[in-house]
Amino acid sequence: WGCCFSTPWSFFLLFLWSLCSPCLSIHAETAESHSMFTCEPIGLRMCQDLPYNTTFMPNLLNHYDQQTAALAMEPFHPMVNLQCSEDLRMFLCALYAPVCMEYGRVSMPCRALCHRAKRDCHKLMEMFGVTWPDEIECSRFPDCDEAYPRAVDLQTSVDPTDISPMSIQRDYGFWCPRELKMEPDLGYSFLGTRDCSAPCPNMYFQRPELTFARYFIGVVSIVCLSATLFTFLTFLIDVTRFRYPERPIIFYAVCYMMVSLVFFLGFLLEDRVACNAANPAQYRAATVTQGSHNKVCSLFFMVLYFFTMAGSVWWVILTITWFLAAVPKWGSEAIEKKALLFHTCAWGLPGCLTVALLALNKIEGDGVSGVCFVGLYDVTALRWFLLAPLCLNVAVGVSLLLVGIVALNRVRMEIPLEKENQDKLVKFMIRIGVFSVLYLVPLLTVISCYLYEHSNRAVWETTWVQEHCRDYHIPCPYQVEQTSHPDLTLFLIKYMMMLVVGIPSVFWVGSKKTCFEWASFLQGRRRKDSGVNESRQVLQEPDFAQSLLRDPHTPIIRKSRGTSTQGTSTHASSTHLAILEDKAGSVHSKTSYHGSLHRSRDGRYTPCSYRGGEEQTIPPHSSMPHLDHPLSTHSSLHRLESQSRHSSQRDLSVASPTLITHGTNGGRVANDDDGASA
């Protein structure tokens, strides 16, 4: 080439040859999967006729085979062919086709050799628009000035005829196949390799198994969606029925209604959201969606993860409200004052976690269910964004639940309640226990499945690489000690429990009252005589609350504990209230202090307790229910109010001795913080 380089035509022909030379740079076929450290003959045309003739792969730049190395060397062919530096060819071959020595030894070129090659070819590289790659920057090489290869390197090199005995196994790690390669700006990662994605729909299961799993998840999601939707609609029919401490159950049902809706949409859309479509023109297979570039996948992830975490937090808040009602004896109004704090925690904490995952680009498509979630391939995200929050919520919720149940049981054992209130307390404790078990068992099962995946994910991935390395022409794993395949049954259990955990909300609203309300709603009318709302639970019953706070053998005088939201009466003055309480006191001599109103067969109540005459009356929307009395009629109330308006104590003595409200027109006993009026 030196004799022909003097003419312009020879320069032009040389330039054309340099552009076509990559096609002729390899005369050896691409090696199969490199599961062994093997000295192989050099097939690169540029690196022929060197002091050595064997090399190994991957090379110093982690090129898996000589074909990949040839493509990486392509920009330097014009400089080598034009002989801009006598050291450039040897320096490039030292990196892309290094000399083969025994396993564990690597010979690197000296830094002085790199500087000479870069200095001599700098201007020609600018002419061809070639930049010096960062991976071959001269500062990366040892500070020496020796020729390559060194004499010691040539002494240990092996002749090509002796390649077979020179075979030492070597772990190359995971190499992303060409079919799974992704664009660099998308931020994909698979098995620790950047710009790579897992195959879709799933790398562990076959298509028939995935079809069965998809229909199974669809059926369970429909059941959960129906149950939670029924709970929410029951709440909308009568909003005043569900008050604190049971109000969080409604929000808990709404959260899992959204979760089941996302799974149902994933069932309908199949692989269109969780997978990137195959592109045969670019030799790309279908891959799992990652990151936020897919808007529908990002939306599915935000809704699913946000409401999953919010549902778990609402269960913790439910245990907190039960704790406040059972241990410090907070009323419904007192707990309701903390509603803003409850909503801030229940929606704010999951929102922060969701934004953090979006910022970290941890969204992953689920080829089994067709949705997008987190922790499906990234073990770190699974550990910190799923296992840690769920385990923390379970620990806090169970602790508060146990403390509340112990407190209620102590009340039942120490305070001599009446038979009716004891039955109510036992039923309430059983109801809490059953509801908690129906929630905790599915949630603990989901956590167990996540722990199972977390502990076996590395083995599953190694097994997959070992079984598919020859199909993808990538390195096979080195010294595989254990192989294992995931069990589809455990995956189905995980998805089922993620949805079943929302069904216990039906248990709480399932009652005769719910049936009556739905019957009235479907008939287009509302029950006007249903003055007692759902907050008439055992913790909100007047008799039960009085028994918890006071000895049953003493007169029960109601006074505010600083948490009531009741207003004072607008129909009677404090003098009239005192007179009414004096008149009600006459009933005390004829009735028992610890009696109660008993309902007869005809649906009426008989006043057989002092509590019935002295009971503070409240509006129908408050937490304490009012009791219908046979003497309480609209006419008697009207007469009572007119008499009290004229301050006639004589006329008032003619009125009924029992003050019972009916509707919202009756007089109300004012709450007195110091108990003076009582």
pLDDT band at 35 (very low <50, low <70, confident <90, very high): low
616 pLDDT more than 80: no
pLDDT for the residue 430: 81
Report pLDDT for 460.
Answer: 95
Inter-residue contact 489 to 212 (CB < 8 Å): no
β-pairing, 54-55 with 167-169? unpaired
pLDDT tens, residue by residue, 344-383: 999 999 999 999 999 999 999 999 999 999 999 999 999 9
User: Is the pLDDT reported for residue 669 higher than 70?
Assistant: no
Q: Which helix (H) or strand (E) holds 326?
A: helix 295-326
pTM beyond 0.75: the answer is no
Q: E strands, 335-467, where?
A: 364-365, 372-373
Residue 537 above 90 pLDDT?
A: no
Span 107-133, mean pLDDT? Answer: 90
- Position with higher pLDDT, 624 vs 527: 527
The tokens for 382 are 């699974």
pLDDT of the residue at 169: 56
Q: Residue 267 in contact with residue 221, Cβ under 8 Å?
A: yes
pLDDT digits (tens, 9 = 90+) for 235-272: 998 888 888 888 999 999 999 999 999 999 999 999 99
Structure tokens at 301: 């992830």
Check residue 18 and give its pLDDT. 43
pLDDT higher than 60, residue 611: no
Residue whose tokens read 């059983």: 430
Query: Which pLDDT does position 550 carry in this prediction?
Result: 43
- CA atoms of 85 and 285, how far apart (whole Å): 43
Answer whether residue 137 shows pLDDT above 80.
Answer: yes
**Residue (of 677, 671, 633) closest to 655 by Cα position:** 633
CA 672 distance to own-chain centroid: 48
Class of residue 455 by CB neighbours under 10 A (exposed 0-12, middle 13-18, buried 19+):
exposed
Q: What pLDDT, on the 0 to 100 scale, is given for residue 442?
A: 94
pLDDT of 648: 39
- pLDDT band at residue 276, thresholds of 50, 70 and 90? very high
- pLDDT, the chain, mean: 74
Residue 605 has pLDDT above 50, yes or no: no
Spatial CA neighbour of 509 closest among 318, 223, 227, 313: 227
pLDDT at position 415 is 62
Band (458; pLDDT cuts 50, 70, 90): very high
Q: Token pair of 80, please? A: 């080598």
**Confidence at 526, pLDDT banded by 50, 70, 90:** low
* pLDDT above 50 (res 233): yes
With a pLDDT cut of 90, the percent of the chain lying above it is: 37
* Better-scored residue on pLDDT, 480 or 290: 290
pLDDT tens readout for residues 487-518: 999 999 999 999 999 888 888 887 888 888 89
Please check the confidence at residue 532 and state whether its pLDDT lies above 80.
no
Task: Give the per-residue pLDDT at 103.
Answer: 56
Nearest residue to 168 via CA among 103, 106, 99, 104: 103
pLDDT > 80? residue 205: yes
Strand partners, 606: 598
Write down the pLDDT at residue 406: 85
126-140, 408-422, 474-488: lowest mean pLDDT where? 408-422
What is the rounded average pLDDT of the residues 169-190?
A: 83
User: Residue 572: pLDDT band by 50, 70, 90 thresholds?
Assistant: very low
- Amino acid 410: pLDDT: 79
Domains of the chain by start residue, with CATH: 46-140 (1.10.2000.10), 183-513 (1.20.1070.10)
The dihedral built from the CA positions of residue 268, 270, 275 and 281, taken in this order, carries a sign that is negative
Taking CA atoms, 582 is separated from 380, 577, 622, 644, 668, in Å, by 71, 9, 26, 14, 15
Mean pLDDT, residues 434-449: 92
Number of Cβ atoms within 10 Å of the Cβ of 243: 21
Among 51, 52, 50, CA closest to 40: 52
Report yes or no: 301 and 372 within 8 Å, Cβ to Cβ: yes
Give the residue with greater pLDDT, 8 vs 280.
280
